[in-house]
Amino acid sequence: MADYDDMLIVRQLVDDVLLVLRWSAQPDATLGDDRGVETAVVPDEGLRSQFASAVEQLVANQGAEALRTLSGQNTEFPADAVIAALGSAGWDGAMRDFKLSVIELAGRGEVMGVVRGGGTIRRQIFRALLAALNAALASLSSIPGASAIQELKDFLEKVLEQEPDEQA
């Protein structure tokens, strides 16, 4: 059965997603391929500016709502409802542990290290993490704000699909 600790674990995951989105909108946020070629996450300046504005709107509104809810501070979606929703979505016990392990294997630690400390993320690792986060965010759709976070992350993935792959 889910509990308050599960809420905090999921809150940290959502916070990490928001940090990744904010980082991705920065002009110095770069992805590298196996040949050492680095490109901006969102290379087109106009699109990057729009994405940055969209991310800031998301962080201020839906992101803040999701974090508030996962902190037990949303009076319209109290902590006991959050705990029940997390339990129904498998964000407790062995299922939570497995989900978090897959997200770690997909590169969460490496990506968050760059997001917090600077540097370049390998394109393959970044794409793998975004794909793993897709499943996580989909299972959190009952949490206010989570669907909007997933949608913006999905749009970022669409931008990445327009860029040359490492194998190209």
pLDDT tens digit sequence for 116-155: 999 999 999 999 999 999 999 999 999 999 999 999 999 9
**Cβ(162)–Cβ(136) below 8 Å:** no
Which stretches of the chain score pLDDT less than 50? 165-168
Q: Which helix (H) or strand (E) holds 68?
A: helix 64-70
Show the CA angle centred on residue 152, arms to residues 5 and 31, nearest 5°.
Answer: 95
**Cβ(99)–Cβ(91) below 8 Å:** yes
Give residue 13's pLDDT. 98
Whether residue 102 is contained in a domain is answered as yes
Whether residue 168 is contained in a domain is answered as no
Give residue 162's pLDDT. 84
**Domain, as residue range, for 18:** 4-161
* Number of compact structural domains in the chain: 1
pTM, entire model: 0.94
